[in-house]
Structure 1
Amino acid sequence: MEAIKKKMQMLKLDKENAIDRAEQAEADKKAAEDKCKQVEDELVALQKKLKGTEDELDKYSEALKDAQEKLEQTDKKATDAEGEVAALNRRIQTSGDCPAETGGGREGSR
């Protein structure tokens, strides 16, 4: 009879320990679920931020592309203008030489 009481008491302790472990496991599960929810919320916020950053990158990339195209056009115009100025300078120098020669000839014939 004494052995049965001891066995019953041991089973009761085992049951209480099992209940304690189950409650602890349940608390751990709840904490893990809360942490998971927090991480998921953080992930959503970071994805939103990333999307905004990608949109901003696209906007600035497009602006950079436009600026580079304008720079290329401006460089081409500047190069063309420099060529025209050089051509005009050559014409001025060439035409400047001719009148002096012909003008000198006219003065001598008077």
Structure 2
Amino acid sequence: MRTREHCLLAVLLMALGGSSCSECHFLGYPEATTFAAGYSEEAFAKVEAGMSREEVTKLLGQPLGIVTWDNGRETWEYSKATHGGGYQQRNIVFSEQGEVRSKAASLADD
């Protein structure tokens, strides 16, 4: 059986692109996460700075939500909390020109 420390380590590894800890349910992770249809960790790992919206859509499908900022940038959200607590957050940030500026894989608290 995994200890809390092992699960916390697994959470950190997942945030860095490693494997998940399916036994870490006490953190709301990963059971509390809903991903966009077509999303996969493998495809997310292929997203690179400079890619277009079309290229990202081909890899990951349509996002669950899009936040448009005052500066013209967009954040595409590929995950959301199924219920309260921690969940796996996956976002892509696009520049004003519509190119990938950054991506984020983290554990978020809803």
Tell me the TM-score normalized by structure 2.
Answer: 0.19
Whichever of the two has the greater Rg, that structure is 1
- Tell me which protein shows more strand as a share of its residues: 2
More RCO (CA 8 Å, sep 6+): 2
